Structure 1
Amino acid sequence: MMHKISEGLERAFALRGFAEPSVEDLRDAAGVSLRTLYKYTPSRADMVLAAMENRHQRYLSRLFDALPQDHDKALDAVLSRVGNWMETETSHGCLFHAAVAADPGSKPLRALLESHKAEVASKAAAATDLQHADTALLLIIEGLTQTWPLRGDAAIEAAKRLGQALRSQGV
């Protein structure tokens, strides 16, 4: 049940932002009664956290599941997948940053943002055999996320060139 609720909440927040959807809108998106929604997510803050935890898992799966074994190809695949995520899931930037911007005082949201980005960096470094370049890889991925709405496929190709330059430096 929680998975169904989290998926619906994620869709609602991704489509309409964090301030606009009413509790009734969120209930409808989750496909449950108001009582059930509040049973699993007793507050709006809990609803946002549930949505973002669901998004975290989906994002990691989309980027890192079944990558090529070749590290160069894995790097290109991860960056292509970021572009695909932007095209199909969100065309306006990172929902994690948007969640924190909507509630800047939320320590749980800030912690989730930090752990999400750390896990993305760690998985990218492991998949590409660039373990000592996790921050640089995160910078490339984050730059792609922010630039894709403006430049689309050109941003993906630029990110790939930066990734290959990073690899060629032997970092």
Structure 2
Amino acid sequence: MSDTRTRIAAGLERAFAEHGFAAPSVGDLRDAAGVSLRTLYKYAPSREEMVHAALEHRHQRYLEKVFGDLPEAGDDALAEIFDRIGAWMGTESARGCLFHAAVAAAPQDKRLIALLQEHKGEVAQLAAKSGGLEGREVELMLILEGLTQTWPLHGSHAIASANRMSTALRQAPLPPTLSAA
């Protein structure tokens, strides 16, 4: 991604995270991106493209922050993932998941729905691989989503609960449909 495209996407991400998807005017988005209106429209020719650019940028930042330089696979890796998600929530996402908020603002946008599915699916796959729980992606997605939804209300208690749930998941046998695969 070019420096200009990255700067625009980062500014758009910040604007949407701080003000939601309906409130910022195009002028506000231009100011947040730190470019002229012409340059903004060159890289993101519509509001929908601006939202998509912001979410794609957020996806990459999230993956780097949560999954970069993890300890060896297993309980330690999952505990670190949960801690990092808590830190992310505290600094980047105190109002909840930006992907869910985008879909809530435009529930008919199939591309946004696909971005949400791709983001959540990749996060669950990386968590399963890092935690040595391949085949348990759906269960991990439930734990991860529960963590991001309860963190604003319970903070570190939500992280501790996610750790307990992942320990129980590790000890539970695979359901027959998954263990046969």
Quickly name the TM-score band, shorter chain normalised: over 0.9
Cα shift readout 1:102-159 (whole Å, capped 9, x = no counterpart): 0111111011001111101111111111001111011100000000111111111111
Give the secondary structure class of the aligned counterpart of 2:93: coil
Aligned-residue CA RMSD in angstroms? 0.8
**Aligned-partner residue type, residue 16 of structure 2:** F
Q: Is 1:58 aligned to residue 61 of structure 2?
A: yes
Confirm or deny that 1:44 pairs with 2:47. yes
Matched, 1:130 2:155: no
**Equivalenced residues, count:** 171
* 1:76 aligned residue: 79
Match for 1:24: what amino acid? G
Is the contact between residue 103 and residue 113 of structure 2 (CA under 8 Å) also seen in structure 1?
A: yes
Equivalent residue number for residue 11 of structure 2 = 8
Distance in 1 (CA, whole Å) between partners of 2:98 and 2:105 is 10
TM-superposed deviation, 1:72: 1.0
Q: Which amino acid aligns with 1:162?
A: M
Matched residue SS, 2:135: helix
- 1:155 and 1:108 map into 2 onto residues whose CA distance is 31
What is the aligned counterpart of 2:146 among 119, 122, 143?
143
Aligned residue for 1:19, secondary structure, equals coil
Consecutive unaligned residues of structure 2, counting only runs of 5 or more, are 175-181
The match for 1:158 among 158, 161, 170 is 161
SS in 1 for 2:95: coil
User: Cα deviations across residues 79-108 of structure 1 (Å, max 9, x unaligned)?
Assistant: 111111100101111110000000111111
Separation (CA, whole Å) in 2 of partners of 1:160 and 1:139: 13
SS in 2 for 1:131: coil
- The alignment status of 1:111 with 2:80, answered yes or no, reads no
* Superposition TM-score, scaled by structure 1 size: 0.98
Task: Quote how far apart the aligned CAs of 1:70 are.
Answer: 4.1
What SS does structure 2 have at the residue aligned with 1:20? Answer: coil
1:47-90 CA-partner distances (Å, limit 9, x unpaired): 00000000001111111110001411001001111111100101
User: For 1:70 and 1:102, how far apart are their aligned partners in 2?
Assistant: 37
Residue 170 of structure 1, CA deviation = 4.9
Percent identity between the aligned chains?
Answer: 58
Aligned partners of 2:12 and 2:50 also within 8 Å: yes
Segments of structure 1 that go 5 or more residues without pairing to the other structure are none
